[in-house]
Structure 1
Amino acid sequence: MTGTFPRAMVLGLCALLASACAGPGYYAQAVGGHLSLMNDRQDVDGYLAQAGPGDPLAERILVARDVLSYAERQLALPADDAYSQVVVTGHDAVVWNVVAAPPLSLVPREWCFIVAGCVPYRGYYDPDDAEAFAARLRQRGDDVIVSPASAYSTLGWFDDPLLDTWLDAPDPYLAGTLVHELAHRRLYVAGDTAFSESYASFVESAGVSRWLQDTGRGEQVAAWQRRKAMSAQWRQLVDRYRGQLANLYATTRPEGERLAAKAELFGALRRDYDRLRNDEWQGSDPWRWFFDAGANNAGMALVSQYQGGHCAFEQLFENSDGDFERFHQAAASIAGRDADTRARWLETPCP
């Protein structure tokens, strides 16, 4: 992990899927940024042939190849010819996503894109452009978060490259990024970020666990399982405070009172998180980015996109007897339902 955000947390959707409701300036940076990235691709075989002994990036590419082969054979994911190229950006992120929500609502703003549908963020290839857009949203009173994305997916429209922004991550996280992005190639519901991200995040969690076990990386399983247990505690904590915030926002109390109570709830969330970090996680601080970024409604929306629905997909996986092909087919069947039915299904409680 680098920076303040988890490397595999945010999907950097291909900005070439141009916004149907944005202006020409946004379209220009989206197309220009995407084409610049594509022009910098190098053939993986060529890179490996030229790499010197002990080249760290070459070693990570070989791990990525192992993950891709395993994902296609054992996780029923469409690796195909994806990631046959590599891009060396020299940066920690490739896209910066802006998420916003009203000051008294947990429902994020949405922007509509061709193909990808309406999504609760806008992506920028230049962090200064992202911050400028975020500043305009804050000026009108929104809660805003700018989230750097190290991963990048075109949902199968292009031959996605490997990126140095996440190749140097430890094995489980490198594998997690690849499995997450391949899951989007297998199943993506346009306009339903919550379902699509929850599905990909669960496939990532279950797929990496199996990859570690099957490829002789057993010594890393305990740490990965511990991280999953911490994620479950974080989900429970966020869900509890999300419920309290939703109840507060739904009241008829004066706006000033609700804003003051909101600040108290986010303060209490921070204190509860600190207790988990210090008492149970032995000082581990994986979600510090949430508080560093402002701990607001936009951050709550971002967390819910990626960590909501875990229990629903876990139950579906168990009902599929741990068979990934059956699981993907069952998930696709649920994806075919109407949006309200999918949303209710995602709220399936844990046993």
Structure 2
Amino acid sequence: MPDNRSYTYFVQLDRPWVAWNVFATPELSIAPVTHCFPVAGCVAYRGYFRRDLADREAARLKTAGDDVALGEVPAYSTLGWFADPIISSMLYWDDDTLAGTIFHELAHQKFYVKDDSSFNESYASFVEEEGVREWRVARGLPPADSVGDQLERSFTGRVLALRDRLGGIYGGEGSDDAKRVAKAEAFEAFRGDYLQWRHTVARGDRRYDRWMARPLNNAAVLPFGIYDVWKPSFAALFEQSVTGKCFFSGGCSRKQGSAGAIS
């Protein structure tokens, strides 16, 4: 990870979040409405440091007919252009989450591909998870409780399955009105399935109740596809790198790296 002044100093905010991301999709699509910037390229959301500006943009997109969701942002990365601070919105978490967030944001400084939000966020999310695992080992701590991770993977998998189902509805045959009905039915079924999942798989754990209480639409499920879709691929690449396996035809000579080497 980059060794610089980022996350070496503290800033106290006068609000609970540092920024708000506005996600949007067309009414009958799971493709994000993208926004393009000189340095970051085109991304699948637009961030605002003021809630009123985020609300204004969300209202504009809704008026245009898009599905819109607002996401709170506790931390961010300027991709190494500035020394990013530890901010007070990051201190509501436990140590693992705080350390993981720093790994995530530093990963963006290390490597960033313009115009590909899913690649960048999935890559940083994998580095976050692997970083926390190795950080705990380096500190002599036992492996983290896996229950929360298992619930996250299980819930995320269900949301991604919903997203795929919606994509099938929108890309299928039928009128727009029929697709709107099928869309509403898919979200209603997901709410019912969630109650069953919470009672059985999650054993009454209510950590996702707040998210489920929000309006469900295409934009609400969009971040799950951005932050998670390629994590298994990065995990496979990482496993190949640390075991010295080569997967290109013709053979290769690759130095076996330590578990902390991301390349």
TM-score for both structures, normalised by structure 1: 0.67
Matching residue within 62, 74, 86 for 1:138:
62
Alpha carbons of structure 1 residues 280 and 304: separation in structure 2 relative to 1, 3 Å:
same
Distance of 1:214 and 1:197 partners within structure 2 = 25
Q: Is the 8 A contact 2:134 2:260 kept in 1?
A: no
Distance of 2:169 and 2:180 partners within structure 1 = 9
Query: Would you tell me which structure has more helix in proportion to its own residues?
Result: 1
Q: CA shift at 1:253, angstroms? A: 1.0
- Matched residue type, 2:187: F
Q: CA shift at 1:306, angstroms? A: 0.8
Alignment-derived partner of residue 206 in structure 2:
285
RMSD across aligned positions (CA): 1.7
Distance of 1:168 and 1:245 partners within structure 2 = 34
Segment of structure 1 superposing worse, 240-249 or 275-284? 275-284
Q: Is the 8 A contact 1:145 1:293 kept in 2?
A: no
Q: CA shift at 1:300, angstroms? A: 1.7
Alignment-derived partner of residue 128 in structure 1:
52
Q: CA shift at 1:259, angstroms? A: 0.6
Distance of 2:216 and 2:141 partners within structure 1 = 36
Alpha carbons of structure 1 residues 213 and 275: separation in structure 2 relative to 1, 3 Å:
farther
Distance of 2:9 and 2:181 partners within structure 1 = 51
Q: Is the 8 A contact 2:160 2:224 kept in 1?
A: no
Q: How many residues align?
A: 249
Distance of 2:35 and 2:221 partners within structure 1 = 18
Alignment-derived partner of residue 168 in structure 1:
92
Alignment-derived partner of residue 159 in structure 2:
238
Q: Are positions 1:319 and 2:225 aligned together?
A: no
- Matched residue type, 2:5: D
SS in structure 2 opposite 1:128?
Answer: helix
SS in structure 2 opposite 1:213?
Answer: helix
Alignment-derived partner of residue 197 in structure 1:
121
Per-residue deviation, residues 328-348 of structure 1 (Å, max 9, x unmatched)? 22xxxxxxxxxxxxxxxxxxx
User: After the TM superposition, which residues 208-247 of structure 1 pair with which residues of structure 2 at under 5 Å, given as runs?
Assistant: 208-218=132-142, 221-222=144-145, 225-247=146-168
SS in structure 2 opposite 1:294?
Answer: coil
Q: CA shift at 1:321, angstroms? A: 2.2
- Matched residue type, 2:63: Q
Alignment-derived partner of residue 104 in structure 2:
180
SS in structure 1 opposite 2:200?
Answer: helix
Distance of 2:235 and 2:195 partners within structure 1 = 28
- Matched residue type, 1:269: F
Gaps of 5+ in 1: 1-76, 330-351
Alpha carbons of structure 1 residues 305 and 286: separation in structure 2 relative to 1, 3 Å:
farther
Gaps of 5+ in 2: 244-257
Matching residue within 309, 312, 315 for 2:230:
309
Q: Is the 8 A contact 2:4 2:83 kept in 1?
A: no
User: After the TM superposition, which residues 62-73 of structure 1 pair with which residues of structure 2 at under 5 Å, given as runs?
Assistant: none
SS in structure 1 opposite 2:53?
Answer: helix
- Matched residue type, 1:157: W
